[in-house]
Amino acid sequence: EEEGRRAGRRLRELGIGLTLAPDADLAYEGGPWAQRSFSEEVDVTTSRVRAALRGYRATGVAAAVGHFPGEGAASQDPRLGTATVGLDLDELRRADVRPFAAVARQAPVVAMTEALYAAFDSVTPATLLPEAVSLLRDTGFRGAVLSGDIGTAAFAAGIDPGEAAVEALRAGCDMLLLRGDSRDQEEAVQAVARAIRSGDLPAGRIREALRRAGEVRTRYAREPLAAPG
């Protein structure tokens, strides 16, 4: 909790109102988060994610808990290449999903993963799958869903970033993360705009996404904290 407070205060001093943390992935031995997650134990991970959220919330920073539905058992870090999680849906619910479910009422934002899941269709990144977002909503989460990196998801799915951006919104993501260059970002913006104009993205889905993203902005977009001293 204290680490969350320190990190949140520094972010506020820099004028940053959202952080891609804390990490709720389980530290499976040999998995991509083995040395970086809180623990391989569900209860330990849950308690520390809760504590980190309290710390960030105390400083007014929105914390995006990742990476749903849990990429601890992935074949590799999805940001390094196509990654697969071989767990079935029951196994995910028994372990990986539980830390997210435990903070569903406290987390303002949850970030999806770009990994592929045997629990779904094994070929589509979770951030592009309505079934994966529905699983998150089933935990009681009512905040904003942040996509996984659109560029990474596009590569894994064999589509372009613009199409991936549209598919992420259609799947139920409310905010899009795109780490690519300005060309990829512009492509995504234009693709989303075309999909809205054509009706390929339903107006109701866009209104819902704007409402949830707006609630995060309204609650957390404050003036930077004054620098100490």
Q: What DSSP letter does each residue of 98-113 carry, written as one string?
A: HHHHHTTTT-SEEEE-
Q: Given its phi and psi angles, is residue 30 left (phi above 0), alpha (psi -120 to 50 degrees) or beta?
A: left
158 burial class (0-12, 13-18, 19+ CB within 10 angstroms)?
Answer: exposed
**pLDDT at position 222, please?**
61
Phi, psi (5° rounding) for residue 16? -100, 125
pTM score, whole prediction: 0.93
How far, in Å, CA of 150 to CA of 173, rounded?
Answer: 11
CB 78 within 8 A of CB 71: yes
The bridge status of strand 144-149 relative to strand 84-85 is unpaired
**pLDDT at position 153, please?**
97
How far, in Å, CA of 126 to CA of 12, rounded?
Answer: 31
How far, in Å, CA of 191 to CA of 35, rounded?
Answer: 38
Phi, psi (5° rounding) for residue 103? -110, 15
User: Six-digit token pair at 220?
Assistant: 């957390």
**pLDDT at position 136, please?**
98
**pLDDT at position 220, please?**
87
- Compute mean pLDDT per 10 residues along the chain, 229 residues long, and list them: 96 94 96 94 98 96 97 96 97 98 97 98 97 98 97 95 97 94 92 96 96 94 51
**pLDDT at position 229, please?**
39
Supply the DSSP symbol for 214. Answer: H
How far, in Å, CA of 72 to CA of 75, rounded?
Answer: 9
